Amino acid sequence: MKIAIIEDDINMRKGLEIALSEYPEFQIISFKNAKDALKKLDDSYELIVTDINMPGMDGIEFLEHLNGKYEAIIITGNATLNKAVESIRLGVKDFLIKPFEIETLVQAIKRSAKVQKVQSEQQQNHITATKKEEGSAGNFIAVSPAFEKVLKIVSKAATTDASILLLGESGVGKEVLAQHIHQSSTRAKAPFIAINMAAIPDNLLESELFGYEKGAFTDATEGRAGKFEAANGGTIFLDEIGEMPLALQAKILRVLQEKEVVRLGSSKPIKVEFRIVSATNANIQEKIKRQEFREDLFFRLQTIPVNIPPLRERKEEIIPICEWKLSEVCEQYGFPLKKISQKAQTDLLNYAWYGNIRELLSVIERAVILSENTEILSEDLFLNSREGKGERVEDLEKDLIIEVLAAVNNELDKAAKMLSLSEKALQEKIQKYKIHI
């Protein structure tokens, strides 16, 4: 198994390289930073082991560039809960806090290898099925009172052309709901175009949205329509709008006002007509206060705001979602249909689900593949270790806040700036962790 280690600390990097080289089944290649790794990674690599906090490009940005191409394990000695949740969003299934026993890492690597082996065998046997994407209608399960309230709002809004802003944590199903809005509208037979603002580098985002003419820049060998044009007559879904560059916001506002776009390298406006649905897990009001988001654009996007509750407030949906995913994975890999033990169901209901539905689907897929029996047991879920990791990350975050507050004599504005938080968010964390100042 060819494994790439990305770690800026030379002692840690060399230590892992030496320790893992004791296992003959592992072929270890290490890189001192993410940019070097991006240049040299190819299809021969099967697993990425990366630190989060690194100069130049951190581990989260690195994984976003990889776009799910490789299985990944995160190792870190200094991470916030937000980083842990973000890693889950990117499909990371193991998050190890330094210092850790090398055997803990080895077991995580072997679990990943087993998953890949099963997937490879099923592909070779041609036992495949169409895998629904997370945004498909198959994942749309709504049986909780909390979500029924959301659906009532959405059902009324879907039949109009009003702009809808979906608010909620990462992984709650914002794109699923956006597709439901589109399918429930008069535009259902027209295109549904989705674009994630956080997943595309700032220098490419404008050309993705607006398109470009031949010769507009060095690599523009032919003209290309952008996402706004592609969505003409249908719905465009702008995800993670809180990450939208400020310079681009004025241009997007103009598109919404004038109903026309101008491709890069052109002066000719092109008429477009579409319905816009956007989503964010950020506090846009705080961004407006910090002049990071235009208030006029915000008002345009949030004619109808819809707050999607996190999965921990929709527990009635956990088991139905699990059963749907279990059936799908068993069919995909040609397994006999498995069931979830009563104890495992209790564990699933009691778990916090910081990564929401996205994390739940990941847990069930792994459990189906790794379980040795026709019944999913508690130990197949690895929830205890995942919950423990979350608690350790929270401990780290609390210690970091205490340390920063002490360094700035408890001045909240300075502490918030050092922690890259709003003062309100910092105050909420101080209350959460019962920090005395």
Structure tokens at 269: 């406006």
What pLDDT is stored for residue 232 in this prediction?
95
Q: Do domains 145-308 and 389-432 have the same CATH topology?
A: no
* CATH code for the domain defined by 2-126: 3.40.50.2300
Give me the residue spans of the domains in the chain: 2-126, 145-308, 312-381, 389-432
For residue 345, the one-letter residue type is Q
pLDDT tens across 279-318, in order? 999 889 999 999 999 999 999 999 999 999 999 999 999 9
For residue 325, the one-letter residue type is K
Percent of the chain with pLDDT over 90: 44
For residue 322, the one-letter residue type is C
DSSP string computed for 81-147: HHHHHHHHHTT--EEEESS--HHHHHHHHHHHHHHHHHHHHHHHTT---PPPPTTSGGG----SHHH
How far apart are alpha carbons 325 and 321 in whole angstroms?
A: 6
Confidence of residue 171 (pLDDT cuts 50, 70, 90): confident
Task: Domain 145-308: state its class.
Answer: alpha beta
Structure tokens at 281: 């897990």
CB burial readout 37-46, b (16+ within 10 A) else e: beeebeeebb
The larger pLDDT score, comparing residue 127 to residue 213, is at 213
How far apart are alpha carbons 30 and 418 in whole angstroms?
A: 31
Cis preceding linkage at 55, omega within 30:
no
Structure tokens at 126: 């041609």
pLDDT at 274 over 90: yes
β-pairing verdict for 269-271 and 224-225:
unpaired
How far apart are alpha carbons 90 and 31 in whole angstroms?
A: 21
pLDDT tens across 69-105, in order? 888 999 988 766 566 667 766 768 788 888 888 988 9
Handedness of CA 247, 250, 256, 259 (dihedral sign): negative
Confidence of residue 332 (pLDDT cuts 50, 70, 90): confident
Confidence of residue 114 (pLDDT cuts 50, 70, 90): low
What stretch of H or E contains 22? none
Q: Among candidates 2, 12, 78, which has minimal Cα distance to 37?
A: 2
pLDDT at 199 over 90: no
Residues for the chain: how many in total? 437
How far apart are alpha carbons 131 and 8 in whole angstroms?
A: 37
Q: What is the largest CA-CA distance in the chain?
A: 64
pLDDT tens across 19-72, in order? 898 888 899 999 999 999 998 888 788 899 999 989 889 898 898 888 778 889
Task: Domain 389-432: state its class.
Answer: mainly alpha
How far apart are alpha carbons 346 and 360 in whole angstroms?
A: 14
What pLDDT is stored for residue 134 in this prediction?
36
CATH topology of domain 312-381: Helicase, Ruva Protein; domain 3 (1.10.8)
pLDDT at 425 over 90: no
